[in-house]
Structure 1
Amino acid sequence: MASSQDITRKAKSNLAITLLCLPKERKKDMVTFYAFCRVIDDLTDDLDIPIEKRKRGLQEWREGIDQGFSEPDELQSEVTELISRHEISKQPFLDLIDGCASDLQPQRFGSWSELENYTYRVASCVGIISTRIFGCTHPDSEKYAVALGHALQITNILRDVDEDLRNGGRIYLPLDDFTRFQYSERDLIGRVHDGRFMAMMAWQADRAEKYYQQALTHLQPEDAKALRAAEAMRKIYHTILKKMRADGFQVFKQRYSISKPRKIAILAATFLGG
């Protein structure tokens, strides 16, 4: 398996970009953690890998973190050392793996409560682990991480509606919201973009907005510096959410993003205290 440095270097995600601005002593560990997340995500989504092999890979990671790896590769050794060095609970790692593993089979979420459990596992747990690596000390920083995780994942879900449909027919929008706006799964699969669809998407965006604001209420001065990378992520994804809303959620026609110069400007403002 490639090293954590190689995995992160090849990645083009917003998270990978924000890691470049971390203090040297924190950057190495976050690169390791990012590489772990990337590998777990690839085991979930890479359709070129037979599903049984993906299941075995995820189970190997889960058992290794929970009970220890018998013959760890380079990344597995780095992750084990990371957990020990920062005294991080294994539970958010296990929850993250379980959340990703649930994507191996098409699933539906009947309500926000069900989806919230999923977004906690695949996104909030990433934040919880990150706060330990960042060196946060205030107890509210974990609440910040949980809220921000929900906000980021909802934003991802809205942005990736079309991509998820093409990737195994995945639908993450809660089914009770389809009923609320009299919009159906058949409509979604048919890429029907009308007033009902925009209203349903705006409802989800409002939910994300509440979590973005909730995260800010838990951002404490003593951890503000440690959470600058997370704040950069918040600003980048919040910008994407607002861009989708302003454009009427044209997610069947494009995948929303912001330009690299805009990301750099956000990073610069955040790390300079703006």
Structure 2
Amino acid sequence: MTGLDLYTRTARRASATVIEAYSTSFGLASRLLPPVMRGDIASVYALVRVADEIVDGPGAESGLDTRSCREVLDALEREVERAVATGFSADLVVHAFAETARRVGITADQTAPFFAAMRRDLEPVAFRDERELRSYVYGSAEVVGLMCVRCFLGGRRLPDAQARRVDRGARALGSAFQVVNFLRDIGADADGLGRAYLPGVDPAHPTEEAVGRVLDRLEGELRIARDTVPLLPREARPAVLAAHGLFAALARRIRATPADELPRRRISVPSAEKAAIVARAALGASVARATSAREARLEPAR
């Protein structure tokens, strides 16, 4: 093992620590991935989380003003670009991301829109129309879905038609995850961060009709994403199904909650239900593998 190998391994462990600390849902789902793929997803998640934390509170809590937070975020983006170009960063999270990005094909086509969306969060947000919302969601979430697909493929290329379908599913799932979070955090985003992401939804007094429209679209995106899971590499499907199931369960709980309670309650899926969803995804994958192996044994030789 070279010194760089040891450094990269340490960097990937640092990224794994970030996902374990910050995300119960993604952490649970990612455990269904094989080790290298799981490490790649952790590397993406860790970078996204660090950028998010710069704009979502810890920066300000440490005494940084908006201008200073912007400078830190800009410096992080420059360091990511440099590390992806050179293969090294003194920042462990950036190094782990860059190693993954270089190997699986994540480029500035994904990272640049992401950082642009993070910069948007440095100012108060009050999106007036669907165009503003969709532009933000593309950068903050859909491109993260595209990064994850590249991790699943591990640098392999799909036929063009299949690649377009897979990317559409990844974008739909990323969007659905983001919008679920907007609804779940609607009160905290408005009161604590000065953000109103959802046009037509009053964050202080959301109506059943307005919330229902958001959920209808969100559930449509979940269906698109679910339909494209069979196009993913077999070893990635259980984790994606688990993540899909966790956020679908959260959407169902939000729909079952009176709209006027959403600003005052942060809806969540109980731990036992989360564990059951992940277990079903893992079991389904095991059954599928066993069936495939049995059919292979029974297929007559040619």
**1:219 paired residue number:** 229
Cα deviations by residue, 1:160-202 (Å, 9 ceiling, x for unpaired): 110101222210111xx35xxxxxx5xx4xx336xxx111111
Letter in 2 for 1:163: A
RMSD, aligned CA: 2.2
Tell me, yes or no, if the aligned pair for 1:141 and 1:223 is still in contact at 8 Å: no
**2:4 paired residue number:** none
Q: Would you say 1:25 and 2:36 are equivalent positions? A: yes
Alignment of 1:84-163 (within 5 A): 84-135=102-153, 137=158, 138-139=162-163, 140-163=165-188
**2:46 paired residue number:** 35
> In terms of mean alpha carbon deviation, does 47-56 or 75-84 score higher?
47-56
**1:182 paired residue number:** none
Letter in 2 for 1:148: L
SS of residue in 1 equivalent to 2:125: coil
Q: How many residues align?
A: 259
Tell me, yes or no, if the aligned pair for 2:226 and 2:244 is still in contact at 8 Å: no
Tell me, yes or no, if the aligned pair for 2:242 and 2:281 is still in contact at 8 Å: yes
**Which whole-Å CA distance do the structure 2 matches of 1:12 and 1:130 have between them?**
16
> In terms of mean alpha carbon deviation, does 12-21 or 40-49 score higher?
12-21
Structure with greater helix share of residues:
2
SS of residue in 2 equivalent to 1:167: helix
Tell me, yes or no, if the aligned pair for 1:66 and 1:94 is still in contact at 8 Å: no
Distance 1:24 1:200, change over 3 A: same
Structure 1 unmatched runs, 5+: 179-184
Letter in 2 for 1:7: V
> In terms of mean alpha carbon deviation, does 161-170 or 65-74 score higher?
65-74
1:233 to 222, 230, 243: 243
1:16 to 20, 27, 45: 27
**Which whole-Å CA distance do the structure 2 matches of 1:220 and 1:21 have between them?**
16
Structure 2 unmatched runs, 5+: 1-10, 286-302
**Which whole-Å CA distance do the structure 2 matches of 1:237 and 1:43 have between them?**
25
How does the TM-score come out when normalised to structure 2? 0.79
**Which whole-Å CA distance do the structure 1 matches of 2:145 and 2:231 have between them?**
18
Q: Would you say 1:59 and 2:84 are equivalent positions? A: no
**2:92 paired residue number:** 74
Letter in 2 for 1:19: S
Tell me, yes or no, if the aligned pair for 1:33 and 1:79 is still in contact at 8 Å: yes
Tell me, yes or no, if the aligned pair for 2:54 and 2:72 is still in contact at 8 Å: yes
Offset at 1:156?
1.0
Q: % of aligned pairs identical?
A: 24
1:269 to 266, 276, 280: 280
Distance 1:164 1:218, change over 3 A: same
Offset at 1:222?
5.2
**Which whole-Å CA distance do the structure 1 matches of 2:267 and 2:42 have between them?**
25
Tell me, yes or no, if the aligned pair for 1:131 and 1:227 is still in contact at 8 Å: no
**Which whole-Å CA distance do the structure 2 matches of 1:86 and 1:272 have between them?**
28
How does the TM-score come out when normalised to structure 1? 0.86
**Which whole-Å CA distance do the structure 1 matches of 2:209 and 2:25 have between them?**
28
Q: Larger Cα Rg: Structure 1 or Structure 2?
A: 2
Tell me, yes or no, if the aligned pair for 2:79 and 2:89 is still in contact at 8 Å: no
> In terms of mean alpha carbon deviation, does 35-44 or 21-30 score higher?
21-30
